[in-house]
A and B are shown apart, each in its own frame.
Chain A
Amino acid sequence: MGSLLLLLPLMMTPSDTVSPAAMQKLLPTALFEWTFAEPSKTYTGREIFHYMDGAGEVYLAYGFQRLLVQRYARPGQEEILVEVFDMSLPRNAYGAFTNMQGRGPAVEIGQGGEYKSGLLDFWKGRYFVCVMIDRENDDAKKAVFGMAAMISETITEQGEIPGIIALLPQADYLPETLRYFYRNEILNIHFYVADKNLFHLNEATDAVLVRIKSDKSYLLLIQYPGSTEADAALADFTRQYMPESRGSGVVRTENKKWTACRKGRNALAVVFDAPTQAAARKLLDKVQRRIR
């Protein structure tokens, strides 16, 4: 019973699926003379591959449920393409947003947004939203911002940022490099560790990867449902990634940089590519105080 209680915070189940009609209501019918170019299209689950090929796997790895695509047209102007992803849970929407954050300047739309080169993306509640144009001009850019703001206002729910983010040493990392996830495939997109899932990442775990300001090393934090799962992952990682560390939890890798890991109660902290052993240990010391 005790372990079940420990699992509860992480074993979040998707809330009810949002119907296409309800998703459609999130969108304005017109803005600045842009109107629907055609009826919207929806893609549920693996149907996302009818809209995008392999890239759809990224959204599925974040618990994607349904995509609504709406195109807006205005004579003589850029087409505006709106994609609303129902990610089923706020943590998934947040993860999908962090997966591509750092593209450009932040915008105050939704619970976190960015705009660059015609693409404005943001997350709010269970939704991740992209509003885009192919070629920028003043009117079309204004419409993109207006459209995104209207959608954001229509989404009434607010999502919680996963608690693991608060465990990071806030002043030490580059915010735009933060990636939140719980699947090995996403980890490997941002920092390739191994083809096998050495950290035992799954829906019951929470993970965050950041780059450290001072030396550009990588800090990976993973929270497990309990200490047993964290122990198992640590054992697998050290055995297969750093066997010569002989339990010290630190090793100099082939690029002459340092990898070090440490376990808290139900969490692992791993530093990759630290310039020195001391730098790796110092960072882990700082993190360990938070994951104890």
Chain B
Amino acid sequence: MSESTMTRRDFLRTTAAAAVVGTAAIPLLTGQKKGKQAKVILIRHQNVVDTDWRVDASIISQMLDEAMVNLFGVKNAEEAWKKVVKPADIVGIKTNVWRYLRTPVELEAHMKRRIMERGVKESDISIDDRGVLSNSVFARATTLINVRPMRAHNWSGVGGCLKNYIMFTPSPPDYHPDSCVDLGAIWKFPAVEGKTRLNILLMLTPQFHCMGPHHFDKEYTWLYKGMLVSTDPVSVDAVGLKIIEAQRSIYFKEPTPMRPPVRHIVAAEEKHGVGVANLRNIELVKLGWKEGALI
């Protein structure tokens, strides 16, 4: 057995050193600011979703546009979408349709509309989840947009933007070992690498805890009413995880690390070189509703 075994005590040790709460987030916080940097927009709106989880199409559309304007540092939404899509592009929107917590169709429709406004033919746009490998538009895609809700996951700790691309492998179970630690490797696949222009991690009603495989209970969600937007899938997941861990501490009234520990986010940066997991290297811009931001 290797001496380099990672144990719970290693997490605890780092926790003590960083003097922060929540073991799983610790690796995200260590180290000095150096190396790659990333920018993440957190935007929230008090009325984007109601207590019955009905989504306001107009508000969620405005939120995405405003986030993109800030992300790309441009004057308006039209300019922002120019940074993402060209008229000649073939665009695949990788969504997530998990029955309990799917990407809102209102947001999918808005993205499609914006992409068509850029001059992309409707036949060159597809929105898909589990069928991306057999989807002819995704097969020809020159641009990908990655959008899904954040949720706790019984095997990988959390499901976020990184995990959303597991459907790009013909054999997802190959990426399940060690709590899906190597999900970042999928982002080097030819069908994916260099094509993703935008990552949107939805935090409208995030699920912060689960009690079993494909388990869902509204009790373990809350109306956060936000979204995280970046060109970097790792950094949106890192920030999203931090928010979820903060909510877990509030709900459980004690530090309650994700179970199992989230390993794939740090590994995406450190092992696969995909993006930025270290919060010190992430410029977080907060827009909109501030109450209960948790970060």
User: B-contacting residues of A (Cβ < 8 Å)?
Assistant: 46, 49, 52-59, 99-100, 102-103, 116-117, 119, 121, 134, 185, 188-196, 198, 236, 240-241, 253-255
Instruction: Report yes or no: A254 in contact with B9, Cβ–Cβ below 8 A.
Output: yes
Cα A270 to Cα B11 in complex, Å, equals: 19
Instruction: Report yes or no: A193 in contact with B8, Cβ–Cβ below 8 A.
Output: yes
15 contacts between A and B (CB under 8 A): A53-B166, A54-B156, A99-B213, A117-B218, A134-B100, A192-B260, A193-B7, A195-B178, A196-B1, A198-B7, A236-B1, A240-B1, A240-B5, A254-B9, A255-B12
Across-interface contacts of A236 in B (CB, < 8 A): 1
Closest CB of chain A to B153's CB: distance in Å?
6
Cα A100 to Cα B261 in complex, Å, equals: 17
User: A-contacting residues of B (Cβ < 8 Å)?
Assistant: 1-3, 5-9, 11-13, 15-16, 23, 99-100, 153-156, 163, 166, 172-173, 176, 178-180, 211-215, 217-219, 257, 259-261, 263
Instruction: Report yes or no: A190 in contact with B5, Cβ–Cβ below 8 A.
Output: no
Cα A56 to Cα B155 in complex, Å, equals: 9
Across-interface contacts of A189 in B (CB, < 8 A): 154-155, 259-260
Instruction: Report yes or no: A55 in contact with B153, Cβ–Cβ below 8 A.
Output: yes
Q: Quick one: closest B residue to A255, CB to CB? A: B12
Across-interface contacts of B99 in A (CB, < 8 A): 134
Closest CB of chain A to B24's CB: distance in Å?
9
Cα A59 to Cα B8 in complex, Å, equals: 24
Across-interface contacts of B179 in A (CB, < 8 A): 188
Cα A87 to Cα B7 in complex, Å, equals: 30
Instruction: Report yes or no: B213 in contact with A195, Cβ–Cβ below 8 A.
Output: no
Closest CB of chain A to B236's CB: distance in Å?
19
Instruction: Report yes or no: B12 in contact with A253, Cβ–Cβ below 8 A.
Output: yes
Instruction: Report yes or no: B5 in contact with A198, Cβ–Cβ below 8 A.
Output: yes
Instruction: Report yes or no: A100 in contact with B218, Cβ–Cβ below 8 A.
Output: no
Cα A275 to Cα B153 in complex, Å, equals: 30
Closest CB of chain B to A14's CB: distance in Å?
20
A103-B215, A194-B6, A254-B9 in contact; A46/B173 too (CB < 8 A)? yes
Cα A198 to Cα B166 in complex, Å, equals: 29
Q: Quick one: closest A residue to B5, CB to CB? A: A196
Cα A134 to Cα B2 in complex, Å, equals: 46
Cα A248 to Cα B1 in complex, Å, equals: 22
Cα A13 to Cα B219 in complex, Å, equals: 39
Q: Which of A53, A99, A117, A240 contacts B212 (CB 8 A)?
A: A99
Instruction: Report yes or no: A192 in contact with B213, Cβ–Cβ below 8 A.
Output: no
Closest 3 CB pairs of A and B: A100-B212, A55-B213, A254-B12
Instruction: Report yes or no: B211 in contact with A255, Cβ–Cβ below 8 A.
Output: no
Closest CB of chain A to B45's CB: distance in Å?
25
Q: Which of A53, A117, A241 contacts B7 (CB 8 A)?
A: A241
Instruction: Report yes or no: B11 in contact with A192, Cβ–Cβ below 8 A.
Output: yes
